Homo-oligomer: A and B are copies of this chain.
Amino acid sequence: MLDKNDFTPLYIQLHRQLRLKIVNGEYKQGEAIPSETEMMKLFDTTRGTIRKALSLLVNEGLVHQVRGKGTFVRLSPLQYSITNFGGFTDYLKNRNEEAISKVLEQSRLIIDGTEYYQLTRVRGVKKEDVVSYLMIDTSLIPVSLFPDLDKNNFENESLYKILREQYRVSPTRSEISLSPVLVDDQMRKILELKDEEVALLKAEGNIYDQNNVRVEKVKIIYAPSIEFNIMTSINASI
């Protein structure tokens, strides 16, 4: 059911509910979810709202729609679409996995006259008491935008949650550049790499908030165990 008194838009509420049912397996892979007209009755709303929620799911690649047939949970969805930069903790939480963060370095430094917090963390997941490290994540955050940010403990708390709740800043957009990088000793040790693993994937770029202000510079080194998958639509008309 949707709460029409909630400030959250109906289509967002609906999107979350459908999403949960998919990741929890209530709607199974390959099977159809209720049709748009059915959902109109189920959730007591109009088709436009339903379709807006569904379009979000389609963009995430969680469902696909076929005219005349229905809306289906995607077969073999991409497992780790780590393109939701920044929000690692939140990301895993919604997949019922436990995020592990270990702070490697936390300092302040000045680049081009601007003072930044520098935060380097190893990120991973814990499954059945086995920890797998997936990435080394370095953030540079301007001190001027977030005074006293370094009073927080980043081992336990999500950086983005802190930004949202303490500073009312919501990271909304990323511009990331991908490149290969050669393994150095630190990476090899931290990510427990095998000898033959000599090159890794690096993502580097900027994160912007709701007002298009750059709030973070990021650099992420991905372990080979993580698949970096992207889905794109192909635009013939461009």
Residues of A within 8 A of B (CB): 12, 15-16, 19, 48, 59-61, 64, 66, 75, 78, 83-87, 90-91, 94, 160, 164, 170-182, 198-201, 205, 207, 212, 224, 227-238
Q: Which residues of B contact A237 (CB under 8 A)?
A: 12, 15-16
Q: Which residues of B contact A85 (CB under 8 A)?
A: 232, 234
Complex Cα–Cα for A90 and B235 (A): 10
**Which chain B residue lies CB-closest to A163?**
B236
Contact residue among B19, B199, B231 (Cβ-Cβ distance under 8 Å from A181): B199
Cβ A238 vs Cβ B90 within 8 A: yes
Cβ B182 vs Cβ A87 within 8 A: no
Cβ B178 vs Cβ A236 within 8 A: no
- Pull 26 A–B residue pairs with CB atoms less than 8 Å apart, ordered by A: A19-B238, A48-B48, A59-B59, A60-B235, A64-B212, A75-B212, A83-B230, A84-B234, A84-B238, A85-B234, A87-B238, A90-B238, A94-B238, A164-B236, A171-B236, A173-B233, A174-B232, A174-B234, A175-B231, A176-B229, A176-B231, A178-B178, A178-B230, A179-B224, A201-B201, A205-B229
Cβ A180 vs Cβ B207 within 8 A: no
Cβ A234 vs Cβ B86 within 8 A: yes
**Which chain B residue lies CB-closest to A207?**
B234
Cβ B228 vs Cβ A178 within 8 A: yes
Complex Cα–Cα for A120 and B210 (A): 43
Q: Which residues of B contact A229 (CB under 8 A)?
A: 175-178, 205
**Which chain B residue lies CB-closest to A160?**
B236
